[in-house]
Structure 1
Amino acid sequence: MALLETDSIAVRFGGNVALDDVSISVAAGRVTGLIGPNGAGKTTLFNIVTGLLAPTRGRVLVDGADITRLPPYKRAHRGLARTFQRLEPFVSLSVRDNVRVAGQIRDTWRRRGSLGIGKADPRGRGRLDLDRETDRVLELVGLTDVADRDVAELPTGQARLVELGRALMTRPGVLLLDEPASGQTEQETEAFGRLLRRLAQEDGIAVCLVEHDVGLVMDVCAMIYVLDYGRVIAAGPPDVIRADPAVIDAYLGSAEEGAA
């Protein structure tokens, strides 16, 4: 079932076309990849989905509902969560508090009755349950050993996991990840791939991944969309994308050479 869909999204900045008739579908229970050269429009599409930009034309649907005109905070209430290409942790807080604060925010949403398709609340309603959920998420993303360190002290790879943990504390139905493996070691990337599969297959989250690590994308994604100059030039499972001449010419050739 598609939890997130974009329908014929177009974005123009003056005379420049950033996105042109982009339609993608992100299903529950699997990882969907969004790849392409720098400047292809991947982050712009994420900004449209999360409400940071308004499309010139087209619609954004979450669980079948049109959210195109909703502000970002109401999209979050409906189960959208996102990480950013540029790290934005709360540098004055510990790892634990960075993750925990997102749970406190979600608890406010729950009490106001404004939650949508996100995952069910953890058992109980008191502070102890919030602490337990924080500990669960820290363990899930592999940050238990550094939970009490200031996030400013962490290397980039671990800081990205803090942002992932913070997103997961909102218990999303749709999770958008913008270059989450950037700065990770090879071992960290392998563990991260296993985590993404678990989030999709066991927790049923619809994960959409923007990533330049081609090996990771091909390993974890069930469906891949390829953007070039703001248009979808190919869509399909990894084996189809690998063999597509247009994708090889526009992106995979240079991406795989750069990873070699």
Structure 2
Amino acid sequence: MDSWKVNPRVFWTLFTPGTFWLLLFFLIPLGWLFHDSFSDKISITETQFTGTLANYIRAFDAVYLTIIWKSVWISAVATALCLLTAYPIAFGICFAPAKWKPLLLLLVILPFWINLLIRTYALIAVFRTQGYLNLVLGWVGLGPYDMLYNDGAVIIGLVYVYMPFMVLPLYATIERLDRSFLEASLDLGGSQVQTFFKVTLPLTMPGIVTGIILVFIPCLGSFLTPAMLGGANAIMIGNVIEDQFKAANDWPFGSALSFLLMYVTFGALALRAFLASRSKGVDV
């Protein structure tokens, strides 16, 4: 590709609209929230910048630490379930006949075509006391069970929503895997299990790390799924942030909590970059 200096007009024509959009609708609002995180609330609608760290310190109160810890373990469990489920799915798609791969990938991304709110309501219809799952269980003499408004429902909802974010990077990594390594391991006497843990898993580790980051971070900040499937029994940090901006109208504290999640995101991305630089496997 030619240097941008060869055709500066073309470069600036393509560069300016996206940069303007990013600046206006992302960086400026983000900078305002960062400013608010160091401010004090002086009235219902007004804040004053004081440079205080009180909002960040308040985030480490026991009640919020408990919610943060609960959010972390729920997100970790959901991410682990996504990984355990998505890995064989991605592997199966990669080794499927070429004519079936586009259709299988389409089935993976098909949920993105449906609004998240509608998909969540569909889960409620499945798991409620008089829902479809309890109806099926009733045919064999089981139930009904209370499957909604608990941590389990939230975890299932998060897995359902974010599964494609795990499948796609794993598929990209496995598809580019040199299969001669697998054949060499088997030819040298390695079993299928040994080949998987000593050859396949290390070579696909970049895709695994990418998938974990793409799933864990959105799960940690999720608020719609916990609110609808967990109710008051499964509040996550995303729900607390939403309440600060809406019900409590405490934007400085909500901004501080939001940026704490962003700091976690930056740390995860830094870890991803570090692992990618050390990895000898296939990167994505």
TM-score by length of 2: 0.22
CA radius of gyration, larger in: 2
Q: Which has the higher helix share?
A: 2
